[in-house]
Amino acid sequence: MTLFAAWEDLPIRIATGGFILNSGLEKLSADRERAETLHGFASGAYPALGSIPPEQFAKALAVTEVGLGAALLLPIVPSRLAGAGLAAFAGGLLGLYLRTPGMRQEGSLRPTEQGIPLAKDVWMVGAGLSLLAADRRRTRHKRKEKEKG
């Protein structure tokens, strides 16, 4: 694992990191109504979240997004770690899409009009997995070069 992100990873890290950081910063100042909306939506898909108070949930979600966004934007965070965090977070968002009634067309993965805002998060899963795959490829290449040298 390298100490700094590879230059070729920076465009995808900046795009996703900026998007997620902004989302988290907006949620940091969520009022009670917004917190309840976020919590209700998430706990509908993930019932275990129902026991967490809405304001606490919204704050935790905001802090998670700010942290992930910062990790993606800071090149000192290895791409493997940033990519794993991004893929896991976006996977949770896709879980909302898959588990929430009315988000998908009947018998299909295709989104309804209401499901498009969640279905579009698939790009973040792809970005996270791409960061992981690129890091793995670079690591293997370096290992092979060492063996040759």
> Is 144 a residue whose pLDDT tops 70?
yes
Is residue 53 assigned to a domain? yes
pLDDT at residue 4 in the model: 64
pLDDT at 125 over 60: yes
Q: Using CA atoms, how far apart are residues 121 and 10, in angstroms rounded to an integer? A: 19
Give the confidence band of 131 by pLDDT, cuts at 50, 70, 90: very high
Four-point Cα dihedral 126, 21, 74, 89, nearest 10: -40
The boundaries of the domain holding residue 134 are: 7-148
**Residue found by looking up tokens 């490829």 in the block:** 137
Q: For residue 56, is it within any domain?
A: yes
Q: Is residue 2 part of a domain?
A: no
* Residue 85 is assigned to a structural domain of this protein: yes
Domain count within the chain: 1
